[in-house]
Copies of this chain bind each other. A is one copy, B any other.
Protein backbone atom coordinates (compact mmCIF):
# COMPACT_ATOMS: atom_id res chain seq x y z
CA UNK A 1 0.00 0.00 0.00
CA UNK A 2 2.55 2.60 1.10
CA UNK A 3 4.93 1.16 -1.45
CA UNK A 4 2.35 1.90 -4.12
CA UNK A 5 2.15 5.50 -2.95
CA UNK A 6 5.90 5.83 -2.74
CA UNK A 7 6.51 6.95 -6.28
CA UNK A 8 6.28 10.45 -7.70
CA UNK A 9 4.57 9.44 -10.91
CA UNK A 10 1.94 7.42 -9.10
CA UNK A 11 1.32 10.21 -6.60
CA UNK A 12 0.75 12.66 -9.43
CA UNK A 13 -1.64 10.25 -11.10
CA UNK A 14 -3.44 9.97 -7.82
CA UNK A 15 -3.60 13.73 -7.56
CA UNK A 16 -5.10 14.02 -11.00
CA UNK A 17 -7.67 11.35 -10.32
CA UNK A 18 -8.56 12.68 -6.90
CA UNK A 19 -10.21 15.86 -8.08
CA UNK A 20 -11.77 14.80 -11.32
CA UNK A 21 -13.59 12.10 -13.14
CA UNK A 22 -12.18 8.70 -14.13
CA UNK A 23 -9.67 8.95 -16.94
CA UNK A 24 -8.28 6.76 -19.66
CA UNK A 25 -4.66 5.67 -19.89
CA UNK A 26 -3.97 7.85 -22.92
CA UNK A 27 -5.39 10.84 -21.06
CA UNK A 28 -3.31 10.17 -18.00
CA UNK A 29 -0.22 9.70 -20.14
CA UNK A 30 -0.61 13.12 -21.73
CA UNK A 31 1.12 15.55 -19.42
CA UNK A 32 3.89 13.19 -18.44
CA UNK A 33 7.19 12.55 -20.16
CA UNK A 34 6.66 8.82 -20.01
CA UNK A 35 5.37 6.34 -22.53
CA UNK A 36 1.91 4.90 -22.32
CA UNK A 37 3.27 1.55 -21.18
CA UNK A 38 5.16 3.07 -18.31
CA UNK A 39 2.03 4.83 -17.12
CA UNK A 40 0.09 1.62 -17.60
CA UNK A 41 2.47 -0.21 -15.29
CA UNK A 42 2.04 2.43 -12.62
CA UNK A 43 -1.71 2.21 -12.96
CA UNK A 44 -1.58 -1.55 -12.56
CA UNK A 45 0.50 -1.16 -9.43
CA UNK A 46 -2.04 1.22 -7.96
CA UNK A 47 -4.83 -1.10 -9.02
CA UNK A 48 -3.00 -4.05 -7.47
CA UNK A 49 -2.81 -2.16 -4.19
CA UNK A 50 -6.54 -1.57 -4.40
CA UNK A 51 -6.14 2.17 -4.70
CA UNK A 52 -7.56 2.35 -8.20
CA UNK A 53 -10.28 0.49 -9.99
CA UNK A 54 -10.40 0.13 -13.77
CA UNK A 55 -13.37 -0.29 -16.05
CA UNK A 56 -13.13 -1.04 -19.71
CA UNK A 57 -15.49 1.15 -21.68
CA UNK A 58 -15.33 0.74 -25.40
CA UNK A 59 -11.72 0.78 -26.48
CA UNK A 60 -10.44 2.57 -23.43
CA UNK A 61 -9.76 1.65 -19.77
CA UNK A 62 -10.91 4.23 -17.31
CA UNK A 63 -9.32 4.40 -13.90
CA UNK A 64 -10.99 5.76 -10.81
CA UNK A 65 -10.02 6.17 -7.19
CA UNK A 66 -10.99 3.67 -4.53
CA UNK A 67 -11.10 5.50 -1.20
CA UNK A 68 -11.22 2.57 1.21
CA UNK A 69 -7.52 1.60 1.14
CA UNK A 70 -6.60 5.23 1.58
CA UNK A 71 -8.75 5.43 4.66
CA UNK A 72 -7.08 2.31 5.97
CA UNK A 73 -3.64 3.81 5.46
CA UNK A 74 -4.78 6.91 7.26
CA UNK A 75 -6.09 4.81 10.12
CA UNK A 76 -2.77 3.04 10.36
CA UNK A 77 -0.90 6.32 10.61
CA UNK A 78 -3.40 7.45 13.22
CA UNK A 79 -2.55 4.36 15.19
CA UNK A 80 1.19 4.84 15.05
CA UNK A 81 0.83 8.47 15.98
CA UNK A 82 -1.45 7.70 18.90
CA UNK A 83 0.76 4.91 20.21
CA UNK A 84 3.71 7.22 20.14
CA UNK A 85 1.84 9.90 22.02
CA UNK A 86 0.91 7.34 24.64
CA UNK A 87 4.50 6.18 24.90
CA UNK A 88 5.64 9.75 25.44
CA UNK A 89 2.99 10.28 28.07
CA UNK A 90 4.10 7.15 29.92
CA UNK A 91 7.69 8.28 29.72
CA UNK A 92 6.76 11.65 31.09
CA UNK A 93 4.79 10.09 33.94
CA UNK A 94 7.73 7.84 34.72
CA UNK A 95 10.23 10.67 34.77
CA UNK A 96 8.03 12.75 37.01
CA UNK A 97 7.42 9.98 39.51
Contacts and interface: CB of A to CB of B under 8 A. Distances in A.
Nearest to A71: B81
B77 A81 contact: no
Interface residues of A, number: 32
Q: How many copies does the complex hold?
A: 2
Interface in A1-53: 1-7, 11, 14-15, 17-21
Given A19-B87, A73-B77, A81-B74, A3 B14 contact: no
Nearest to A65: B84
A75 to B, nearest CB: 9
A60 interface: no
A83 B20 CA distance: 8
